[in-house]
Structure 1
Amino acid sequence: MSPPLPTRAGADAQPITAAIAEQAMQWQLDLQQPPISEATLTAWRNWRQAHPLHEKAWLRAEAFAQRMDQVRQQGHSALASATLGPSLRPTLSRRTALKQLAVLLTVGAGAWNARDLALVQDWSADYSTRVGQQRRLTLVDQTRVQLNTDSAIKLRFDQDLRRISLLRGEMLVTLERQSGLPPLSVDTAEGRIETVAARFDVRQTAGVTLLGVYEGSVQVQPRNPGQPALTLNAGEQLRFDRQGLLSRQPQGASQPAWSQGMLAAQGQRLADFLEELGRYRPGHLGCDSSLADLPVSGTFPLADTDRVLNAVAETLHLEVRPFTRYWVTLKPRTLAG
């Protein structure tokens, strides 16, 4: 006997499954391709009425379509068409695009802004990486860029300008001095970094840019007018926001550990370590609040985050508790009865 369908109130409390989200996005795309037959409209109405979660998913699909309309009205019609147009994105199969769009419908409204932004960034970026992916690039001027996990950049290169906009995430830039070319500038939400020759790492976080220089020197200009420029030399790192410098300190590394596929920690709080490791795997990664200040030290390979978790748990005598594959928590180890 099939279980009873949830009531409307019950559906509001239930999450939308990936399968239902894909079905909703499929209907959203199908109804954009005229002529729409009466049979199609009837099937669409029947699908909406078949289960309260179907209607919930459809309402979210409509809301997402409206957001894409707003993007189109703001002058990004190509992006909106690539996102929800009949042809989808040229480099993606329809099935893959549906899966990516469906992710937006399976989360609560509180998570939409960040996910919406990431989706738009990926469609508008020249290069991007997924969670857990890294990518090495050689640009037209021979500048070398390595993108870290979940990152996106946009480029503008011509005779008078060389600019990389870091839309999201982190990158390592290696630039050798070249005569006759303008300085390279890197834009973040908080300001501009400019250099003629350097090796440096830039990371965009919420409201703050993190910058480390490994070779050469760079100049940093915070975004807000009237703020003084800063010069950062090899062996230094800083944090800055739109107003200017937040912190500045030396660094001894010759390159960031992540660029070698490693995650390094030296007495780092467990909560902070897990937040950093969580950048390289989908879902939630955390620990019991009583364990947050436990120190973690070591160098760990990023290719297998499950292995890293198990190693840290074993060292600290903890348990790895997966609620699902995408929701993992470290807990105090329980004694066998």
Structure 2
Amino acid sequence: MNQKAELARIQQQAAEWLIRFSEPEEDEAARAAEWQRWCEQDARHERVYHQMQQLWSSAALTPATTQRKARPQRFLSLALALGVVGMLASQLPYRYWLADQRTAIGEIRRLTLDDGSILTLNTDSAVNLHFDTRQRTVELVQGEAYAQVAKDPAGRPFVIRSLQASAQALGTRYSVREVGEETRVHVEESRVRVTAQGDPAVSVDLSAGQQVSLTQYALLDDVQDGVAEAGWLHNQLVFENAPLSEVLDELRRYHRGVIYLDPRDRRMLDKLRFTGVLPLDDTGRALSLLSHSLPLSYRQPVDAVALIGSKK
């Protein structure tokens, strides 16, 4: 079977799992164990599942969950899931697998580059490195990268470039993160010049403690001051009055499996907000701490699957 056909088969299986996790089942533990076995069969299974889950969310589609679907309805949902992926196939992980350096879900890796700079990759991230006599360019394929830039005797510029923006170091420490159709740049030390890829006239210089978000053609908001150091560098996620949905989305980036929110409780749980610090290197412990801080129930029938609902 060629690579394209193999990926199509995995996509169909992942879509089936999307539908299954949108429906109640009498034996949730058995379903969770079956899902974990499927993920263990091939390293691509879990990654394609998460890609499809993100595409489904970005298309603002939510499977019905009130009762078990009849067979024709399930096929309709499956066709819809596959259709969304087909329209957005360019977002599937070909570029990730071909990248020079990458991290798995839940992995954070520190790299020492040829020039002595240190690049730290956050979870589920990938970069290509383009270093020659004229340039030091890090191409951010996906995810997030944090750079501690070494001075270069030859004066070569150091740039982290995403699809939306380029961020050139005028100092030493900064991070760049791709989130959907936008790029976020956060400066910890000295200055960074941020330029939109589609319009060089859209450019701003950031100083230490500043952050900005932009698309390929425009700034999304004003420069923000007083942004704290990235907690993930210290295996922490820091939240201040964050909606529960945002907290769970961040934890999903580091959880090697599924964090499943009971859809019957979604409307009530969407009102909850959280302030505090959670560990990112143990998402099970993070979810347990979260359930003690908020009126949540938390169960983990197997390591890879976490079930979140309201506390009865």
**Cα distance in structure 2, aligned partners of 1:179 and 1:309:** 47
Cα separation, partners in 2 of 1:305 and 1:99, compared to 1, 3 Å:
same
User: Equivalent of 2:202, from 228, 233, 236?
Assistant: 228
What CA deviation, in whole Å up to 9, does each residue of 1:238-282 have, x standing for no partner? 1111122112211242x3100011111111111111111111013
- Distance in 2 (CA, whole Å) between partners of 1:150 and 1:188 is 15
Residue 211 and residue 275 in structure 1: after superposition, are their counterparts in 2 closer, same or farther (change >3 A)? Answer: same
CA positional deviation for 1:291: 1.2
Q: Are residues 318 and 289 of structure 1, via their aligned partners in 2, closer, same or farther at CA, if it must alter by over 3 Å?
A: same
Give the Å deviation of 1:180.
Answer: 1.8
Helix, strand or coil at the partner of 2:190: strand
Name the Cα RMSD after superposition: 3.0
Structure scoring higher RCO (CA < 8 A, sep ≥ 6) equals 2
Work out the CA distance in 2 between the residues paired with 1:113 and 1:165.
25
- Partner SS, residue 177 of structure 1: coil
CA distance in 1, matches of 2:46, 2:230: 31
**Does the C-alpha gap of structure 1 residues 62 and 309 become closer, same or farther in structure 2, counting only changes over 3 Å?**
closer
Letter in 2 for 1:293: K
Equivalent residues of 1:61, 1:105 under 8 A apart = no
Q: For residues 127-156 of structure 1, what are the alpha-carbon distances to aligned partners after superposition, in whole Å with 9 as ceiling and x for unaligned?
A: 000000010001000111000000000010
Runs of 4+ in 1 over 4 A off after TM superposition: 62-65, 101-108, 110-118, 321-327
Shift of the alpha carbon at 1:212?
0.5
Partner residue, 1:99: 42
CA displacement at 1:165 relative to structure 2: 0.4
In the other structure, the counterpart of 1:251 is 226
Q: How far did 1:321 drift?
A: 4.4
Query: Is the CA contact 1:159–1:181 (under 8 Å) kept in the aligned structure 2?
Result: no
Cα distance change, pair 139–318 in 1 and its aligned pair in 2 (3 A):
same
- Within 5 A, what are the aligned runs for 1:179-198? 179-198=153-172
Q: Look up the match of 1:176.
A: 150
**In the TM superposition, what is the alpha-carbon distance from 1:217 to its structure 2 partner?**
0.5
Q: What residue number does 2:98 align with?
A: 124
C-alpha offsets along residues 180-205 of structure 1, whole Å, 9 cap, x if unaligned? 23111111110111124220011101
Q: What is the alpha-carbon distance in structure 2 between the residues aligned to residue 269 and residue 323 of structure 1?
A: 25
Determine which of 164, 170, 177 is the counterpart of 1:203.
177
Secondary structure of 2:238's partner?
Answer: strand
8 Å contact from structure 1 (residues 194, 218) kept in 2 = yes
SS of residue paired to 1:306: helix
2:269 is the counterpart of 1:291? yes
Check whether the contact 1:227–1:244 (CA below 8 A) recurs between aligned residues: no
Measured against aligned partners, the alpha-carbon deviations of 1:263-320 in whole angstroms (never above 9, x if no partner) come to 1111111111111111101343254231123121111211210111011111213201
The 3-state SS of whatever aligns with 2:107 is coil
Unaligned runs of 5+ in 2: 11-38, 53-80
Counterpart secondary structure, 2:205: strand
**How far apart, in 2, do the equivalents of 1:326 and 1:280 lie?**
11
> 2-side partners of 1:111 and 1:281: how far apart?
22
The one of 290, 296, 301 equivalent to 1:312 is 290
Report what 2:213 is aligned to. 239
Paired amino acid for 1:100: A
Q: What amino acid is aligned across from residue 284 of structure 1 in structure 2?
A: V
TM-score by length of 1: 0.66
Contact kept, 8 Å, 2:96 with 2:142, in 1: the verdict is: no
Task: Give the TM-score normalised by the residue count of structure 2.
Answer: 0.71
Contact 2:128 2:140 in 1 (8 A): yes
Identical pairs, percent: 26
Checking the alignment, whether the CA contact within 8 Å between 2:129 and 2:138 is kept in structure 1 is yes
What residue ranges of structure 1 are gaps of 5+ in the alignment? 1-27, 33-58, 66-95
SS at match of 1:215: coil
Structure 1 residues 320 and 123: CA distance shift in structure 2, 3 A: same
Whole-Å Cα distance in 2 between the matches of residues 207 and 311 of structure 1? 32
